[in-house]
Structures are given as structure tokens and as C-alpha cells.
Structure 1
Amino acid sequence: MLLDQYEKEERFWLKSVLGATSTDGLHAFRGEFVVLEGELKASAGKRTPPKALIKQAVILADADKLRMVAGNFESVDELPEFVARFKDELADDCVLVLYIDNLAESCQVDIEGSHYVLIEFREGMVWNELTEAFYVEKADLKGMSAEDKVAVVYQASKDFKPNYPTKTLEEVLATKTNAKREAWGAV
């Protein structure tokens, strides 16, 4: 399974969900997903924190392809790294929804045969934003395993038709802002 391979490669920085759904052959992950590893400190035998990370990742995969990837990038500069590393593992109809802190405006981008929805993101939780965008109600998820909830969100995503302008990756990278995610929580 693809997610098992990622676990062996230590791509899961933090895991809150990892397992099989009740749909045969589909596995779900939620947590922090490493796109670009930190440097290996030979003396300590450990890596520094990742250089590129999908925060609050929501991933659904079958045996060898990613079916859905959603999450938060701190910077749009991390997107080309994701594309370079994972383009061959994306299913032809993979749902790609990325919330990006320094994006100038929400848009759609076609990159190397895959369609990405990029959404300007300053605050909030990816899971809540996804369920709202895909019209999934809490009642729709009641009593399900965490893995099956990801599968339900994936099914609902197939009806998602965003009304964002289409841009090129070069345009998106050229118009990035200096915005940072708003901090919140205990002080």
C-alpha cells in the first residue's frame, strides 16, 4: 500500500489518522505530511524539521495512487516541490485542494496533467474548510470511523466545482504575498 510505503519513508511527521477505510483497497491519513525532509544530522542520527510540509493533511490512497490530497502549505513555494516528488503517484482524477497562507488569491492551476485548487488561507482548520466546501454535514459523518470520514469527504469532493480563476503556476508564484497564518490559541 502507498501509505505503508510513506510510513516507511517517514513521510508522516504527525499522525492523527492512518488506516484502512471500509471501502476495500482505500486507506486514509490525517496529520502532517512531509514533502521535503530536513537535513540528516549524522552525529545525532536524526533529521532536522522538514523543509516542506503539508499541515493538517487529509489524504486518501489506494494501493499505488493518491486519490485525494488536501492540506495547508505555509508558502506557495512548497507546491513545486510537491509536484516534483509526487506527480507520478497522483491518480488521473486525484482531488488536489491546497490551502496556502501566502497565496495572493484563490485559483485553479493545471500542473503536469493534474488539476490543483489553491485557496487563500489565513485562519481556520483544513478539515472544517473541506467539509464546508464539499457540503458534508456533521450528521453525514456521525458514527463513522475517522478513516471512513475521509472517504466520505472524498466522495463529496467529486461534486466540487470551484469558481476560481485559472492561472499558471508561474503567475501564482510571481504574485505570492508576505502573509503569514494568523496565530491563535492559548497565550
Structure 2
Amino acid sequence: MLLDTYQQQERFWLTTLFGGTTKSDLQAFRGEFTILEGELKAVAGKRTPPRALLKQAILLATADKLLMVAGSFESVDELSEFISLFKSDLDPSCVPVFFIENLAESCQIEVEGNRYVLIQYREGVVWNEVSEFYYIDKHDLKGLSSEDKVLKLYEAGKDYKPSFPVKTLEEVLATKTDAKREVWGAV
């Protein structure tokens, strides 16, 4: 399975959920997903923290294709890395939804036949934001396993038709801002 391969490649930086759904050919993951690994420290035999992460990642995959990808990036520059490394793993029906901190405005892009939805992101939780976009309420998820909640989100997302303007990747990269995610919590 594709997600098993990612696990063996140590792409799962932090795992909140990883397992099979009730559809035996599908696996779900939630957590932090490594895009660019950190440096290998030969003396310690360990890597430094990843240079690029898909934070709050939500993935659903078959044996060899990603059906659903959602998460957040600190910078639009990380988007280019994701595309170069994982475009061949995307199912033709997969439309990744990325929440990006320094994105100038929400939009859609198409790169090499794959469409991506990019959403300006300053605060919030990716799971909640995606659920809202896909019109999923808490009662829709009641009684489902964590893995099947990801499956339910995927099924609801099949009908999602964003109204954001279409731009090129070059336009998105050229208009990035210096914005950072608003941090909140204990002081």
C-alpha cells in the first residue's frame, strides 16, 4: 500500500491516525507529513527536523494512488516541492486542498494535468476547515471510526466545486506575501 511505503520512507513525521478503512483497499493518515527531509547527521545517525512539512495532513490512498490530500504549508514554495515529489502518486480524480500561510489570495492552479485548490490560511484547524468546505457536520461523522471519518470526508469532497479564480503556479509564487500563521494558545 502507498501509505505503508510512505511510512517505510519515514514520511510520517507525527502520526495522529494511520490505518485501514472499512473499505479494505483504502488507508487513511492524519498527522504531519514530511515533504523535504532534514539533513542526515552522520555522527548521530539521525536527521534534523524536516525542511518542509505538510502540517495537519489528511491523506486517503489506495494501494498505489492518493485519492485525497489536504493540509497546510507555511509557504507556497513548499507547494512546488510537493508537486515535484508526489504528482505521480496522485489519482487523476484527486484535487489536493492546501491551506497556505503566505498565499496572497485563495485560488486554483493546474499543473501537469492536476488541479490544486489553494486557500489563504491564517488561523484554524485544517480538519475543521475542510469539513466546512465539504459541508460535513459532526453528526455526519458520529459512530464512524477515525479512518472512516477520513473516508467520509473524501466522499463529500467529490462534489466540492470551488469558485476561486484560476491562476498559474508562477503567478502564485510571484505574489506570495510575508504573512505568518496567527499563533494562539497559552502565553
The TM-score with structure 2 as length reference comes to 0.99
Matched, 1:37 2:37: yes
Q: Which runs of 5+ in 2 are unaligned?
A: none
Question: Could you tell me how far apart the structure 2 residues matched to 1:90 and 1:119 are?
Answer: 19
AA of the residue aligned to 2:87: K
Question: Could you tell me how far apart the structure 1 residues matched to 2:158 and 2:5 are?
Answer: 26
1:156 corresponds to which residue? Answer: 156
Q: Is the 8 A contact 1:95 1:157 kept in 2?
A: no
Structure 1 position 8, deviation (Å): 0.4
Matched, 1:61 2:61: yes
Percent identical: 65
Matched, 1:100 2:105: no
Structure 1 position 24, deviation (Å): 2.4
Q: Is the 8 A contact 1:69 1:97 kept in 2?
A: yes
Q: Which runs of 5+ in 1 are unaligned?
A: none
Aligned residues: 187
Secondary structure of the equivalent of 2:86?
A: helix
Structure 1 position 95, deviation (Å): 2.5
Question: Could you tell me how far apart the structure 1 residues matched to 2:5 and 2:11 are?
Answer: 9
Structure 1 outlier segments of 4+, above 6 Å? none
1:112 corresponds to which residue? Answer: 112
The TM-score with structure 1 as length reference comes to 0.99
AA of the residue aligned to 2:156: A
AA of the residue aligned to 1:45: G
Structure 1 position 172, deviation (Å): 0.1
1:186 corresponds to which residue? Answer: 186
AA of the residue aligned to 1:51: R
